[in-house]
Structure 1
Amino acid sequence: MAETIPADGPMPSPSAFTRSFWYHASQPCQPAGPQNWRVVPVTGIPASDRTRDLINLAGRMLLAFLFLAGAAQKMIDPGPSSEMLGWLGLPGWLIWPVAAFDAAAAVGLVLGPGVAFWALAMAGYCILTSWFHWKLGADPWQLTIVVKNWSIAGGLLVLAATGPGRYALGRG
């Protein structure tokens, strides 16, 4: 939590400024000058820890659903994915370990333990699979999938950095 500076106190260091939001003590929308400013922490959603942890769980469940659906799609109808691997010169049987990995990661993201591990692993997976879709770039839809995968990887990296909150087995 950031320190509150008295109105007549010293100006905070520039590093305090980069980590905090500044506002004027008497009129938050109208700063009058540094001598009357206060420093307050920027914490994201103004909610209780329990609410943040529930939002975190909901986000993990949505991410996991994507990977679980991908695993189910590969297991129910492996043909299209195996064919895509063949176009890239890879054996079609690789679809089975990939589907198992997707399913395990989905469960790991929601339940833990090791949410940070699974988030990092799946971020790497998203980046890696982007290469496959990039190689199939003649189809504009494949390039959209590249951007989607990188965006998902970004969300997974944020999850790995922030952790699962209180709603995960092993919490880490």
Structure 2
Amino acid sequence: MTGIPASDRIRDLINLTGRLLLAFLFFAGAVQKLIDPEPVREMLGWVGLPGWLIWPVAAFDAVAAAGLVLGPGIAIWAIAMAGYCILTSWFHWKLGNDPWQITIVVKNWAIAGGLLVLAANGPGRYALGRTRN
């Protein structure tokens, strides 16, 4: 890593840490859907969607989590997941009688914002397919 300023290495480590934290959120969501699918099936039913959609959504969560960690195509994954966060916030908005649901809406929007910043700035030095400078 000679020749790379310490500030760049630190920025890239922070970027990687952020990507890992974001990915963990989506990976945990996939695992949760696989272990206990009923709450999400019910939520899908409340808005008129079929319960079987849980399986492609769980797969999307898991694959997107891997995309966020590994780095190649990160802008596409980050934008897709930002859209997913905005879309899924609608489900919680529909349940707006519960103040916690509104908190989830706002958190989803904040996560979408972070994903868009990641899309704009890229994965940094610590990603597959990157060459070392």
TM-score when normalising by structure 2: 0.91
Match of 1:164 among 123, 126, 133: 123
Structure 2 partner of 1:142: 101
Please identify runs of 4+ aligned residues in structure 1 that moved more than 2 A. none
Structure 2 partner of 1:100: 59
Structure 1 partner of 2:85: 126
Match of 1:73 among 16, 20, 32: 32
Q: Deviations over 1:109-134 (max 9, x none)?
A: 00021111110000000001011111
Q: Deviations over 1:45-76 (max 9, x none)?
A: xx521111011000000000000000000000
- Output the aligned Cα RMSD: 1.3
Structure 1 partner of 2:3: none
Report the structure, 1 or 2, having the larger strand content: 1
Gaps of 5+ in 2: 1-5
In 2: Cα distance, 1:169 partner to 1:116 partner: 14
Q: Could you say which structure has the greater relative contact order, defined with CA pairs below 8 angstroms and 6 or more residues apart?
A: 2
Gaps of 5+ in 1: 1-46
Report the structure, 1 or 2, having the larger helix content: 2
Match of 1:112 among 46, 71, 80: 71
Q: Secondary structure at the match of 1:48?
A: helix
In 1: Cα distance, 2:51 partner to 2:87 partner: 17
Tell me the CA shift for residue 170 of structure 1.
2.8
Contact 1:114 1:170 in 2 (8 A): no
Q: Deviations over 1:19-58 (max 9, x none)?
A: xxxxxxxxxxxxxxxxxxxxxxxxxxxx521111011000
In 2: Cα distance, 1:158 partner to 1:152 partner: 10
Letter in 2 for 1:170: G
How many residues of Structure 1 are paired with residues of Structure 2 in the alignment? 126
Q: Quick one: percent identity of the two aligned structures?
A: 85
